[in-house]
Chains A and B, each alone.
Chain A
Amino acid sequence: MLRRLLDETLDPGYEEVAARRTADGQEQSAPQNWTRRLVLAGSLLLIGALSAVVISQVRSSAPQREELRQALIEDIAAQRAAGDLLAQRLVDVRDEATQAREQLLAATTEGQDALDELDAAENAAGLTPVRGPGLSVTLTDAPAPEDGRDNLGRVLDRDIQSVVNELWAAGAEAVSVDGQRLGPTTSIRSAGQAILVDFRPVTNPYLIEAIGPTGMFDQLLESAAGRLLASYAAAFGLGLDVVGSDQLDLLPGTGAAVTEAEPVELRRNGAPVGTW
């Protein structure tokens, strides 16, 4: 079959027709009448047009793709800028609302009480910036073993969780992981290889900062979690570094979305006047 393919490159139809003509006693080559010429010219016209269309199509599709990519990139940039703008507006409006609320509430004693309560709640929820003495714990992955074995000295979400829990237990007022403030509903968990704090990824080295009493330092190192991490550090090369600090600045968290609310009972001079 391959031999036939290589040897008989001409359409066998030509030879058959020529053989038939010779058998009929005609000239080998076909007579050229006008219909045949027109059909021939028409099919060659078709071939030419087909080739030209395909060539121009292939040539024009490459720059089109590049244009499309560029347009998408511009779209992404524009949407990102719009998102940043909206986020900034949210911060501004929230600031305005907070100021207006403080002005209104500060006018009355009940308001002042409510404001104090609110401040305490916001502090507890990690919504306010905090400054004070504390300590910072740095956890670092051990260098990956060269022979491709599992890295037993890798920091896991559990390690960060246990340090954070120990810090809360030792009386920390505010804790952040890699600059991300922890609130009451913040989760620390892993997804695949990455560790997520409040569903945002944090990366090695993991910096845990806490503001609280000076006794935290000793309490952390003597706790079960602290001793376990120290043994990991000795056995597997996990990096554990605890430094006390006179002044730490923790940024406010974003806070949880409000999913539940109760109507407030309004009181004037100790007597209820209705709900709001």
Chain B
Amino acid sequence: MVRGLRTGPLIPILGLLVGISAGILLDPSVPTELQPYLPIAVVAALDAVFGGIRARLDNIFDAKVFVVSFISNVVIAALIVFLGDQLGVGAQLSTAVIVVLGIRIFGNAAAIRRHVFRA
């Protein structure tokens, strides 16, 4: 358990840093049809990350749950926005998705804060 805590965060953080630098260095061009969904996907991914950090601090983190929640969050968020675009309410549904994810991110950030600062 002690060992897991010491090496545990290192690999994910390393992965995050490598991902960011790869994204900046390679600068892949995104197909135009996918562009409206990317910001939403990022917010959904951010929600999964904050949820993962909080679960870890609660000592109930599980890699499988994290990966599944990340992928399903991104896919469902993009799907909702796509559906909204087809129905002509894309902007409103984007807002709805952002609001819900934002509330969750805030809640998890507050829980993380309580863990870290004990306040």
Contacts and interface: CB of A to CB of B under 8 A. Distances in A.
Interface residues of A, number: 37
Most chain A beta carbons < 10 A, residue from B39, B68, B111? B39
A202 interface: no
Given A28-B60, A29-B59, A51 B20 contact: yes
A47 interface: yes
Contacts of A271: none
Interface in A24-81: 27-30, 32, 36-37, 39-54, 56-58
Given A10-B51, A40-B63, A50 B38 contact: yes
Given A5-B100, A6-B103, A14-B62, A54 B14 contact: no
A52 B39 CA distance: 11
B108 A10 contact: yes
Given A17-B60, A18-B62, A43-B70, A11 B51 contact: yes
Contacts of A58: 39
Interface in B37-55: 38-39, 41-42, 45-46, 48-49, 51, 54-55
Nearest to B17: A48
B19 A44 contact: yes
Interface string B9-43: 00111111111111110011010000100110110
A51 B12 CA distance: 15
A266 B18 CA distance: 89
A15 interface: yes
Interface of B: 1, 4, 8, 11-24, 27-28, 30, 35, 38-39, 41-42, 45-46, 48-49, 51, 54-55, 58-71, 100, 103-108, 111
